[in-house]
Structure 1
Amino acid sequence: MYWYIIFNVATQYGISGTTAKAIAASVERAVVEGALGPGAALPPVRRLADELSVSPGTVGAAYKELRRRGIVVTRGRGGTVVASAPAVASRRPPKVPAGLRDLAGGHPDHRLLPGHLPSERVIPVARSHRATPRTARLEETVREWLGRDGVPVDHVTFAHGALDLIARLLSVELRPGDAVAMEDPGYHHLLDLVTALGLRAVPVAVDDQGLRPDALRAALRAGVRAVVCSPRAQNPYGGCFSAERRAQLVDLLRGEPDVLVVENDHASAVAGAPLHSLATGGLTRWVHVRTVSKFLGPDLRWAAAACDPVTLARHDGRLLLTSGWVSHLLQEAVYRLLTDDGTSALVDRARQAYAQRRDALIAELRTRGVTGHGNSGMNVWVPVRDESAVVNGLRTHGWWVAAGARFRLSAAPGVRISTAGLEPAEAVRLASDFVTVLGESEATYGG
């Protein structure tokens, strides 16, 4: 019966073709259309070869191509299955059910974002944007902004957001199959990006101070070509580098001059913690990335980066060949907001509010015997035994939180609670409901 079910997968999901290219394309089409979902098993090589009347080598080549492109993964005796976040069908968060309080999205509080752009007339000019990709006054503002935290600013560049910049760098620096050290638990879009590029994610455990030195040491010994991390507001755990932790990590990375270190300071101005940047440690290959979406608005798809000269040349060379530059209109909008006194006051207020709301939930959980992690940023990570039971249990109380599976590689289970819009008074009820649900789930888990 088992082989009969597997055998008919090819017919059921429309796997067809007589060449490796055609077979791979048919599998990709099935994934795109949803006929093959994450975790779905593909037929064993020989079985599919028999059904399609091709050689096992042809099917094997098709599966190899699908693995290289991040569409499927091989699990030893578990066979070949569709990746949990296939590169052709980007994983999106579940839709928030009607009537629930959304604490899963990780978004900033819209009430603490600028409601308008400072007015200024935009004068069209005829010039080569490729020759001058960055406006002079925004570039100078960025140098001042990063320089205040000690980040070297001899070489800076812009991109269309942090994911855009990181994707461009990894695609230039690495080749499919190369290993990348990734925070575990970590930002799910970055984990998906690494898979989509055909790279191999090596989990590096985190704690309240970010990357753990012992875990990073193991990843470096495993031969990673790049390290992607957050110095503060680590998503979802909330860790932030202390001065001591930064020194420990720098000591390890200095011994690996060929490893590219990507530091994603995504929350920066509203992280609620000082920056202890790896970029100040004299590393050979490094890039420090900052975005403004968390405190100026999610639609401002812009990022600034400081980096070493080799990284700058490789990034900007690829940018020149693709989009060419970041919109100067967008750059002007970012400049006006970064230099506007009213906006600066609003950002200060947001930083204080986010810290207060995050700390309030952690404190309320702690008084009830539950440990939450969130030294910085907009999220609180709570370890649990059964993610689904807790998520579904909180749903019955009117809360919608994120199951940790989206963020984990090999880390223990947990749930992520976004606290950006959670008022301290609400934290009391949430913590109480959480404890109730946790007790119910553990009773069920224990039988």
Structure 2
Amino acid sequence: MHAGSVQIDGSSPSDIAASVARLITSGEVAPGERLPTVRALAAQLGVSPATVSQAWQALARAGLIESRGRAGSFVRRRDGTWLPPRTQGLAGHLGPSRLDLSRGTPDPLLLPRLERALARVSASAETPSYHDLPVVPELERVLREGWPYEAEGITVVDGALDAVSRTLEASVRFGDRVAVEVPGFPPFFDLIEALGAAPVPVALDAEGMTPESLRAALARKPRAIVLQPRAQNPTGASMTAERAEELATVLRTHPNGADVLVVEDDHSGQISTSADVSLGRWLPDRVVHVRSFSKSHGPDLRIAALGGPAAVLDQVVARRMLGPGWTSRMLQRILVALLTDGESMDEVAEATRQYYARQRALANALAEHGVEAPRSDGINTWIPVHDERFALVQLAAAGIRVAPGSPFLAPDTAGAGEFVRVTAGMIRADASGVASAIAAAALPHPPGVYSLEHRWA
């Protein structure tokens, strides 16, 4: 290790762990670098070896360091290099935890059972032609019955992100700008950059994207807008019909709004407690609405529907014919069965009630500890913290994993604050205990600075 001055804040295990975590995150301590022994660092800081040992255990639980036995402890090398940049930051280093609230996935115990749906599907995977319509007629009928506006065309693809990706690929060119919510879904930022486009941050409040921020974004002449009308990830905000109409009015009256395509990702609609809403009610000729069934019926179904102008959907369908061709018709028929079976519908309704109850239980418990969490729809909630890295390590020490907030923020939104995203939908019990741990991690921790003359002994 090379010489230099490093700073350790505080003398408790959590403070020491958070300080070392910041050194790792900033790159001052590189992946693969050997850490000092517990006794050596304890002597330098004037604390007990047990204190440093607990800090090292917290860092290991957070996935930042790893022990190699007698060789010592090392900064863990980054995993998941096949993932896009911000998705890597969101995935983090996955290790054991008592309670994982970081993934943003539905509770598998609340997904509808598949037995009845499978029994209604043909035992053979017949497809008479490679050039059949990509959506089976019975699924299209069901989708149209529940669509929030009269869409010119409807098709299905392999999940919500696939739908957003293919829609933008058909509409956005290198150098274009794309307006996107901030905080927002990290893969959207990665996708926009992969297309050679530039993200234009748009602010949101408890009712979704704000009209004022949309006007400011339109001044930069974006080619498209990506928004989440319900259960926005990460905030859990849901758009009201009044807000949707305001946004549609902004687009209709702004000098730069006429040619802007709106892409709506309704990823959690089936388990949302908010009313179905879409700007397509007012702007059907320039809105592509995406409806995913991953959160409600199972991520591995890999099915999302998208409806909108035929000019856009035809490009999506034509491009898919040169790749996957279509989404498995067997899976489509399984989804039809799930969407029309009374017991399956009851199971999804019960999941919606459970997620709502879990969100409220966590919010109420946090309030008792002095942490105000926003009203959240769906399965995620967005919690402000004093220090993101400290909060992650502190919660890891308590056996709880949450997602860091920084991947959800666009690069040019400095000063937006620090947050963590918590998948409240996975808190099946002990909301009070979880809230206590989150509050302890979120609130400011006692200051204390220990400066070292050398990097490590």
For Structure 1 versus Structure 2, the TM-score category normalised by the shorter chain is: 0.7 to 0.9
Paired amino acid for 2:422: I
Question: Is residue 2:429 matched to residue 1:428?
Answer: no
Alignment of 1:23-102 (within 5 A): 91-92=87-88, 93-102=91-100
Alignment of 1:157-236 (within 5 A): 157-236=155-234
Residue 284 of structure 1 aligns to a residue whose secondary structure is: helix
Q: Give the TM-score, by structure 2 length.
A: 0.74
Question: Is residue 2:131 matched to residue 1:135?
Answer: no
Q: In the superposition, relative to structure 1, how do residues 207 and 442 fare at CA in structure 2: closer, same or farther (>3 Å)?
A: farther
Paired amino acid for 1:282: L
Higher relative contact order (CA 8 A, sep 6+): 2
Cα distance in 2 for partners of 1:100, 1:443 equals 28
Name structure 2 gaps, 5 residues minimum. 1-23, 28-80, 452-457
Cα distance in 2 for partners of 1:215, 1:316 equals 33
Cα distance in 1 for partners of 2:448, 2:191 equals 36
Residue 181 of structure 1 aligns to a residue whose secondary structure is: strand
Residue 215 of structure 2 aligns to a residue whose secondary structure is: helix
Paired amino acid for 1:211: M
Residue 321 of structure 1 aligns to a residue whose secondary structure is: coil
Q: In the superposition, relative to structure 1, how do residues 340 and 442 fare at CA in structure 2: closer, same or farther (>3 Å)?
A: farther
Residue 262 of structure 1 aligns to a residue whose secondary structure is: strand
Cα distance in 1 for partners of 2:333, 2:446 equals 53
Q: In the superposition, relative to structure 1, how do residues 386 and 38 fare at CA in structure 2: closer, same or farther (>3 Å)?
A: closer
Moved more, 126-135 or 342-351: 126-135
Aligned-pair CA distance for 1:240:
0.7
Question: Is residue 2:418 matched to residue 1:413?
Answer: yes
Cα distance in 1 for partners of 2:377, 2:446 equals 29
Moved more, 216-225 or 114-123: 114-123
What is the match of residue 7 of structure 1? none
Q: In the superposition, relative to structure 1, how do residues 353 and 436 fare at CA in structure 2: closer, same or farther (>3 Å)?
A: same
Cα distance in 1 for partners of 2:179, 2:26 equals 23
Note if contact 1:232-1:265 (Cα within 8 Å) is conserved in structure 2: yes
Note if contact 1:87-1:192 (Cα within 8 Å) is conserved in structure 2: no
Question: Is residue 2:300 matched to residue 1:299?
Answer: yes
Name structure 1 gaps, 5 residues minimum. 1-36, 41-84
Alignment of 1:337-416 (within 5 A): 337-409=338-410, 410=413, 411-416=416-421
Paired amino acid for 1:186: G
Paired amino acid for 2:360: D
Alignment of 1:428-447 (within 5 A): 428-441=432-445, 443=447
Paired amino acid for 1:159: V
Cα distance in 1 for partners of 2:398, 2:258 equals 51
What is the match of residue 68 of structure 1? none
Cα distance in 1 for partners of 2:446, 2:229 equals 34
Cα distance in 2 for partners of 1:367, 1:327 equals 48
Cα distance in 2 for partners of 1:95, 1:342 equals 38
What is the match of residue 331 of structure 1? 332
| Count of aligned positions | 363
What is the Cα-based RMSD across aligned positions, in Å?
A: 2.5
Aligned-pair CA distance for 1:283:
4.6
Cα distance in 2 for partners of 1:296, 1:358 equals 19
Q: In the superposition, relative to structure 1, how do residues 385 and 39 fare at CA in structure 2: closer, same or farther (>3 Å)?
A: closer
Q: Give the TM-score, by structure 1 length.
A: 0.76
